[in-house]
Amino acid sequence: MKTKLMRPVVDYAFKALFGSNKRKSKIILIDLLNNILNLQKKNKIKSIQHLNPFNNKEFSEDKLSILDVKVKTEKDNLIDIEMQINQLDNYKKEVSITGANYMRKPFMKHKLMKHCKNP
């Protein structure tokens, strides 16, 4: 009987392959990131630390999001990794919303702090 392997783009397989703290998992994820990001020589990622993939809500209107893999590099760069194989239009919309939320959070914190100082 022939063994059937799971495709690495399947959510469960992707997380198992790249989301583990095991040495081999980190090596292949670093290689994948360096190639996708086209990093050369001194800019290459050398080490990563897996982080909690849950992005907690900071404001009541925020939506809880769970990433496939979230890592921090030796240069303290945060990298959020999502494997998406279907519905490209929905993914583009979701990335736009997520990016907008990341950009508005510092503004919201500043506005909240200003309000607390001058009620």
pLDDT (tens digit per residue) in 48-96: 999 888 877 777 777 777 778 889 999 999 888 887 776 666 666 666 6
Residue 5 has pLDDT above 60, yes or no: yes
Number of neighbours of residue 54 by Cβ within 10 angstroms? 11
What is the spatial distance between Cα 118 and Cα 112, in angstroms, rounded to a whole number? 10
Q: Give the domain ranges of the chain.
A: 1-85, 87-119
Determine which helix (DSSP H) or strand (DSSP E) holds 93, and give its type and residue range: helix 88-117
As a 3-state breakdown, the chain gives helix, strand, coil percent values, each rounded to 5, of: 45, 15, 40
Percentage of residues in the chain with pLDDT exceeding 70? 71
